[in-house]
Chain A
Amino acid sequence: MRSFEFPIEAGHIQEFKRAVGDYDASFDPDAVAPPTFTVAADRHDPEYDRRLRSDRPWPPVAPESGSGFHAGMVFEYHRHPKAGEVLTATVADGQEWFKQGRRGGQLRFREIVTTFFDDDGRPCVTARWINVRAANEVRE
């Protein structure tokens, strides 16, 4: 498990709201984060590789390497974060399961669970990223 800080910035909330279609979102210093906003914590994750980095080649992972695809996402809101807070994100492996694919092969689903804690150490949002790939592509 690893962790990093995620400052909830009002300008970032405005930018995110506009990006998901609320084109006229204004700057609100007390804004409540929209439902999927915590996915943008990735920009603060030192391990995140879907961005240009000085220490890694770009693009980071070619699809043929079998890294799989983002199949789904689940958010649980213990409460909704607001601008001005600094959350602490902890990232851990979640559940894993297998399912028969439509084309006959077996698919492997894996969860990555990120829990965002507030200043008082209480959980604020739990986010489950679900990745899928063909089971025969899995190379540990």
Chain B
Amino acid sequence: MTPEVGDRHRQVVAERLTRTQLVAYAGASGDFHPFHHDEIYATAHGFDQLFAHGMLTMGITGQALVTVFGPDGLHRYGADFLKPVWPGDTLTAELTVSAVHADGSVDVDIATTDQHGTLVLRGAAAGRLAAG
């Protein structure tokens, strides 16, 4: 099916994010900043609790992009981290086609929201959609 501007894909990319997943991401990425695993450190520096790496939110959102573009269809992926993501949050990524190019590639806007509807990540991506 030919994509059209305005086509949407919604995907729950994290359900009740756990501290364990934050620790797993610290290990996999190598980013052991204590904000993301040390509750005492995070609260001592003014946060209510520890919170997710921005790159974890971006990586989690990337699952929706892999669904749409396949493992090697992406040309570009950019994101701004707008709000902290906390343990317990459920994240939904919504991709909206913003342009369809003559070569078949598409641009999409990305909005990832938490269970309250708060926008935590805003971004854009471009690439060639996965077949099927």
Contact = CB atoms under 8 A, between A and B. Distances in A.
B79 A72 contact: yes
B54 A70 contact: yes
Given A21-B60, A21-B63, A59-B34, A74 B78 contact: yes
Report the 4 A-B pairs with minimum CB-CB distance, sorted nearest first: A43-B30, A20-B59, A74-B78, A19-B28
Given A16-B29, A20-B25, A42-B29, A34 B62 contact: yes
Contact of A71 (B27, B56, B80): B80
Nearest to A32: B71
A128 B31 CA distance: 17
A42 B31 contact: yes
A15 B27 contact: yes
Interface of B: 13-14, 21, 24-25, 27-34, 41, 45, 53-56, 58-60, 62-63, 65-66, 71-72, 74-81, 127
B25 to A, nearest CB: 4
Contacts of A48: 30
A15 B23 CA distance: 12
Given A35-B66, A70-B55, A70-B81, A52 B32 contact: yes
A35 B62 contact: yes
Which secondary structure characterizes the binding site on chain A? mixed
Given A19-B29, A59-B33, A74-B77, 17 more contacts: A15-B27, A19-B28, A36-B55, A39-B31, A50-B30, A70-B54, A72-B78, A73-B58, A73-B78, A75-B77, A75-B78, A76-B75, A76-B76, A77-B74, A77-B77, A79-B72, A80-B71
B28 A16 contact: yes
Nearest to A61: B33
Interface residues of A, number: 36
26 contacts: A18-B24, A19-B24, A19-B27, A20-B63, A21-B14, A21-B21, A21-B60, A34-B66, A35-B74, A36-B55, A39-B29, A39-B55, A42-B31, A48-B30, A50-B30, A51-B30, A51-B32, A52-B32, A70-B53, A71-B80, A73-B58, A73-B78, A74-B76, A74-B77, A77-B76, A77-B77
Contact of B13 (A15, A21, A59, A71): A21
A128 B127 CA distance: 18
A39 to B, nearest CB: 5
